Amino acid sequence: MTAEFESIAELLLVILAITCIVQVIFVGLLLWYVKRMSDSLGGVRAVPPPPAPVEGAVEKPEAIPVEKAVPGGETPPPAVELLEESPDIQGSIHRLCEKYHLSDLIITTLDGLVVVSLYPGSSEEAARFSDLYRRRKKPDSPGVTFLEIAHRGETMLAIIRADHPLSPEQLKGIGEDGWKILNWWL
């Protein structure tokens, strides 16, 4: 009977040792995950607050009227509230599309995961275009433009579809507005 007791005790010691090793592995994974999350959150850039008004200064209107043309013959995009008047991130993207007269805008990770899109079923299109972008190929559809947007230390890809050519100023504005939307909602 002592031999049986010794073999059961050895078996329990082996099980205890395996349990301890598994716990050490899980704690290591947990620490790695926490470090990775803190590193990614450490790269968050805050939106600077607007400058304080100067006493006695006359406020200028925020938006340039559409009737006035900017140098180069282009009209500036209208002033559109993208964030606070939108119910969700899709509402903000919809307003951005209206502002720049875009047919569609998909924001995706570089590996093709859709972050936000106006239309259901965009995942196949996002995967295809992000693959083209990673391989440094031009869009294979007319009216599609790629634009990188930085978000919390990660590079996102904006897939822009427009019926008209976009100027560098418009692309810059779309990128800035996309960055604001991502930082507001995500």
In sequence order, what DSSP letters do the residues of 11-75 get, joined into one string? Answer: HHHHHHHHHHHHHHHHHHHHHHHHHHHHHHHHTPPPPPPPPPPPTTPPPPPSS--TTSPPTTSPP
Rounded mean pLDDT of 63-80?
Answer: 48
How large is the average pLDDT for residues 87-108? 90
DSSP alpha helix (H) spans, 43-167: 89-100, 123-134
What is the mean predicted confidence (pLDDT) over 78-107? 86
- Over residues 57-81, the mean pLDDT reads 47
- pLDDT score recorded for residue 153: 86
Per-residue pLDDT at 66 exceeds 50: no
Give the CA-trace dihedral at 133, 138, 142, 143, to 10 degrees. Answer: 60
**Residue for token pair 């991130």:** 89
pLDDT in tens, 175-185: 999 999 998 88
Question: Burial of 181 by CB count in 10 Å (0-12 exposed, 13-18 middle, 19+ buried)?
Answer: buried
| Strands of the 114-117 sheet, one edge to the other | 114-117, 104-109, 154-161, 144-151
What 3-state DSSP class applies to 122? coil
Q: What is the pLDDT of residue 54?
A: 46
- pLDDT exceeds cutoff 50 at 106: yes
- pLDDT tens-digit readout, 19-62: 989 998 988 888 887 777 666 555 444 444 444 444 444 443 34
The overall average pLDDT reported for the chain is: 78
Higher pLDDT pick, 135 / 38: 135
Q: How do 154-161 and 104-109 pair as beta strands? A: antiparallel
What is the arithmetic mean of pLDDT over 94-119?
90
Q: At residue 156, what are phi and psi to the nearest 5 degrees?
A: -105, 160
Q: What is the pLDDT of residue 39?
A: 62
Mean pLDDT (whole number) for 55-80:
46
What percent of the chain has pLDDT above 70?
77
Residue 48: predicted pLDDT: 43
174 CB neighbour count, 10 Å cutoff:
24
Q: How many residues are present in the chain?
A: 186
Q: Which two tokens stand for residue 92?
A: 């903000």
Residues whose CB falls within 8 Å of the CB of residue 44, separated by 6 or more in sequence, listed in order: 152, 153
pLDDT value of position 64: 33
Which pLDDT score, from 0 to 100, does residue 5 have?
79
